Amino acid sequence: TTPLTPLTKGITLYQHILSQQALNPDATGEFSGLMVQISLAAKLISRELAQAGLVENVLGFTGETNVQGEAVRHLDQYANETFIRVFKNTNLVCLLVSEELEDPLPLSNQCPIGSYALVIDPVDGSSNIDVNVSVASIFSVQRRNPRATDETSSLLQKGTGQVAAGYVLYGPNTMFVYTSGQGVHGFTLDAGLGEFVLSHPNIRIPERGDYYSINDAYSAEWQPGTRAFIDYLKQAKSRGEKAYSARYIGSLAADVHRTLLTGGIFLYPGTVAKPKGKLRLLYEAQPLALIVEQAGGQASTGTERILDIEPKTLHQRVPLVIGSPYEVDLAVAFARSGT
């Protein structure tokens, strides 16, 4: 019989994490506990989503507005509270940064130097909830910077410093995709078992893909480099290359997940009026950039590697160009030349 390895399909997320922990003699088990609690939040949110439309107060708005100035949906609130609840009194996470919270939220009484911070977008793509289209939770785990002088600046770190990152995609299946710097692994929720089971070990993004993904409704506001790049992709067939097809779900993690598995590119560029675009650096661009780079892809603003950006504020926005090396290189070349 073949001995079990950490990458054996069919093992549970917990078993996978424990086997990774066993490879590290310095591991205290805290990180493993943290990942298990994230997966618990994911299962709770997945279960809540499965009830949408059947019970009150899952779909629709709460009537409140979040720090982004956006109307809060019931599920945004439920997911945010769920992450807080699963970490309360565990001392696994010192501070929580969330799209739904203006300031970092302390989750432990003690926050020793180097303790963990969790950075989340509890429900990404929430405009898709009410129409039963995929949404996701995105997360990033970092160690608080011991040299920082206050709470907020201890969380403003380059994406290269992330300890782990991932997302939970609530689609036809619920999937947990994560990296802790040793490749990217995808787990599918076995609802009967209540466990995430390794279904996609060692995901590698194709070198080049067949799809591009961008919100075309903003094309009149694109910068010249973006327009020239998309036009170039549209003309692939006339150059004798395979034609591209377009896909845009409007849930970032779902669009990036497709791009990860099938290759190609996702762009949320800056526009002339909004040069920084819409997506947030800390809990959208950084974690997805780490995932895609770990899978062999690239993530850029168009001119700069996402993981090299020094954040200035918790909720800052950033243009995002992410996907297969071939298409991202091309997009960057067009962005740089500005034509």
Binding site for ligand AHM (CB under 6 A): 70, 99, 121, 124-126, 215, 250-252, 268, 278
253 touches 288 (CB < 8 A): yes
Beta carbon of residue 6, minimum distance to ligand AHM (angstroms, whole number): 31
Q: Is 99 annotated as a binding residue?
A: yes
Beta carbon of residue 130, minimum distance to ligand AHM (angstroms, whole number): 12
End-to-end CA distance of the chain: 58
255 near Mg ion, rule: CB under 5 A = no
Q: Which residue number, 99 or 327, has a Cβ lying nearer to ligand AHM?
A: 99
Q: Is 108 annotated as a binding residue?
A: no
If contact means CB under 5 to 8 A according to the sort of partner, which of Mg ion, ligand AHM, none does residue 278 touch? ligand AHM
Q: How far apart are CA 268 and CA 36, in angstroms?
A: 31
Q: Which residue number, 5 or 132, has a Cβ lying nearer to ligand AHM?
A: 132
Residue nearest to ligand AHM (CB): 252
Q: Is 328 annotated as a binding residue?
A: no
275 touches 226 (CB < 8 A): no
If contact means CB under 5 to 8 A according to the sort of partner, which of ligand AHM, Mg ion, none does residue 100 touch? none
Q: Is 32 annotated as a binding residue?
A: no
> CA dist 18 to 14, 193, 257, 273, Å?
6, 19, 25, 48
Amino acid at 186: G
Beta carbon of residue 215, minimum distance to ligand AHM (angstroms, whole number): 4
Nearest CA among 156, 179, 207 for reference residue 309? 156
Q: Is 284 annotated as a binding residue?
A: yes
Nearest CA among 319, 81, 295 for reference residue 178? 295
Q: Is 48 annotated as a binding residue?
A: no
- The four Cα atoms 294, 295, 298, 301 give a dihedral, to 10 degrees, of -70
Q: How far apart are CA 208 and CA 280, in angstroms?
A: 26
> For 317, which DSSP code?
B
If contact means CB under 5 to 8 A according to the sort of partner, which of ligand AHM, Mg ion, none does residue 250 touch? ligand AHM
157 touches 95 (CB < 8 A): no
Beta carbon of residue 187, minimum distance to ligand AHM (angstroms, whole number): 21
Helix (H, G, I), strand (E, B) or coil at 186: strand
97 touches 66 (CB < 8 A): no
Q: Is 130 annotated as a binding residue?
A: no
Site for Mg ion, residues 96 to 135, rule: CB under 5 A? 121, 124
Q: Which residue number, 208 or 315, has a Cβ lying nearer to Mg ion?
A: 315
Q: Which residues bind Mg ion (CB under 5 A)?
A: 121, 124
Instruction: Please report, in range form, the residues annotated as the binding site for substrate.
Output: 124-127, 215, 248, 278
Residues tagged in the binding site annotation for Mg(2+): 99, 121, 123-124, 284
